[in-house]
Amino acid sequence: MPKKSSKSSRSAVRKGSGKKVKRAASKQLVAPGKKSTYTAKDIQVLEGLTPVRKRPGMFVGSTGVDGLHHLIWEVVDNSIDEIMGGYATTIELILHKDDKITVIDDGRGIPVEKHPQTKKSTLETIMTTLHAGGKFGGSGYKVSGGLHGVGVSVVNALSDYMRVEVTRDGKAYTQEYSQGKAKGPVKIINQHAKGHGTKVTYHADKEIFDTVDDYNWKTIADRLKQRAYLTKGAKIIATNEKTGETQTFYFEGGLRAYVEEINQNKTPLFSPPFYVDKERNGINVEISLQYTEDYSEVLKAFANNIYNPEGGTHVVGFRTALTRTLNNYAKKAGLINKNGKNGETLTGDDVREGLTAIISVKLKNPQFEGQTKAKLGNAEVRAAVDSILTDYFSNYLEEHPSEARRIISKSMLAAKARLAARAARETVIRKGALDGMTLPGKLADCSKRNPKDCELYIVEGDSAGGSAKSGRNREFQAILPLRGKILNVERARLDKMLSNNEIKIMIIALGTGIGEQFDIEKIRYHRVIIMTDADVDGAHIKTLLLTFFFRHMPAVIEKGYLYIAQPPLYQIKSGKNVRWAYSDEEKDKIIAEMMEGKAKKKAKSEAQKSVSGEAAGSADEKSTEAPEEIEAGEAVGETGEGTGDKIKGISIQRYKGLGEMNPEQLWETTMNPENRILYQVKITDTAEADEVFSTLMGNEVEPRKKFIQENAKEVQNLDV
């Protein structure tokens, strides 16, 4: 989703201090005549959970909204571990009105007896000590999502309030904490409690996080739904007290149901999806996959139910086995040349076109990169995934020949398109090289050459392009006007896409190449800004461009280089006072302020006239009232093409096209780093983004219609 950029960071480019560090002479560690001051007192020891509060980003990724939500995942994952171990069946999450979070499970309950090492309650030890938990050997968990054992203690450290209630062995216990420290001893609150489990309630610390109330309920619900898909037998209940909404997630089909949901708006080549759930060498491997008529791949990988956005050894094993298995079957069935000549061997890209796959592995000692667990590193997982998929998918292809032929046929078409795309891509590269080593004539480039300093405005139409070229700062702003709408790449393979002239020009201007030769390090601008009109056509062009970047240059989004410009919707003028509004709400607020100002000015003038009684006062008042004579549309500027309204003494101008603004207005409102509003494009869930693009830009009409109907209420001005 697009993220609004703050004004202070919109155009800032960090530079080094320029100071040179003078090196000491070889082997001379201390300057002559000086004693070393590096002693024991220089070593700082951070006790308890202090390191977490000192460096929260190391443990939860950030102190922004993502880190705020990461606290929830840490607590929920502990409860998921109880379900994976066979000790629990149900998890309940509550978002309270006061922004506290409660997570309840019916697991074993955290032990409360005195810990032999710390001599404190085990509950207090777990909640207030890093690396204390049942995940470091012992028999606490066979598999778990938490590798470091820091999850719930980190949440405690970063909360200004936490209360844990434990029910086990016929009693109920509780303890409260603040900023990682216990407020008192563990207390018994019920001597005759029934059942078992753990209840954790906390409130994020506003001293740590940028915001402690900006929870996204959809993000939370989607994450819990994902966990229910991944965990057999798990029932997860989510309640939002702010809206009164309660959702329950429970899926008998597991990963198979997950794949079917992702593909619900696509046309599958076969149904139901392929599914396997087997264990090898102590590693449980669960895989479900299905091919669709789409051209893009959706692959989600999990280790111990933790999403690994950067993949890892399980993904490597899966892709290797998939490519080899399909090639072996195709050769055996005589569908491709057994010798693999003439480019007839299918590549990994060929066999993954249109693939939706979920990989879930469970193992005792997962090796993740960092606390956020973005990538799995266990070498033994690759072999386990490879062998299981090879064995069982080979059997599936043998037992389902018609489905196998559809997969091979689609992969072979992808191979032909790949070869055609290579030729087209080489043509694009040659064209870029021949055109002055460089760039398309439509591009008005900037003078700076360091990509960190440069930004490219992709502008709709020659009219807006002309204004942008005239109004820009030529030092660091480049302008690329596009003629008309680019091809909808959701419905086209790479070879067809490269025949579109506007797309070719854009690829050459960016400098990254495309397809197999794409290299994000060669990008010529670190801010690529989409700037379109505020009408239906502009919104459509914006969506087409977003689809192009998501499908063919996702690294541009991942690196944070893609932005959307927000031009003003209104110019509001009262006399010499000119202001710009970027939404209807802002327009109404500005008008109210102007009318209030006019009323105060008029009242002041009336007061002066009543005191002096002079005719000069009347003349002055008449001069003050002059703006009331302004006609609608007078404040348009030089072009005079906008749509205007008239309120007494105030001129309101509605802008639908960038070309309606003269260069000075376009610079001041939309391109000046001091004033402009940019939205950074970010993707928090690849599968969800894939579903949205497939729905809005795919061939199926009904899913698109349903999507618009369901989401229309959330959009003030629905253009697409």
Detail the residues annotated as belonging to a binding site.
460, 533, 535
Return all residues near 348 (Cβ < 8 A) that are at least 6 apart.
319, 322, 323
460 is a catalytic site residue = yes
- Among 285, 224, 215, 185, CA closest to 79: 224
- Selected catalytic residue, list 106, 205, 286, 460: 460
What is the sign, positive or negative, of the torsion defined by CA atoms of 49, 55, 61, 66? positive
Confirm if 567 and 528 have CB atoms less than 8 A apart.
no
Angle, CA 249 vertex, CA 245 and CA 251 arms, to 5° = 160
Return all residues near 236 (Cβ < 8 A) that are at least 6 apart.
90, 91, 92, 93, 224, 225, 227, 228, 248, 249, 250
Confirm if 336 and 405 have CB atoms less than 8 A apart.
no
What 3-state class would DSSP assign to 32? coil
- Selected catalytic residue, list 66, 241, 537, 641: 537
Side-chain-side CA neighbours of 268 within 13 Å: the count stands at 16
- Selected catalytic residue, list 205, 533, 668, 685: 533
620 is a catalytic site residue = no
Confirm if 162 and 202 have CB atoms less than 8 A apart.
yes
Tokens (6 digits) for 694: 């497939």
Please report which helix (H) or strand (E) contains residue 482, including its range: strand 477-482
Distance CA 288, CA 272 (A): 10
Binding site for Mg(2+): residue ranges?
460, 533, 535
What 3-state class would DSSP assign to 105? strand
The letter for the amino acid at 156 is N
For residue 272, say if its preceding peptide bond is cis, omega within 30 degrees of 0. yes
Confirm if 97 and 203 have CB atoms less than 8 A apart.
no
535 is a catalytic site residue = yes
Confirm if 598 and 577 have CB atoms less than 8 A apart.
no
Tokens (6 digits) for 254: 């597991």
391 is a catalytic site residue = no
- Selected catalytic residue, list 535, 621, 645, 688: 535
Mark out the alpha helices in 400-436 (DSSP H runs).
401-434
Active site residues: 460, 533, 535, 537
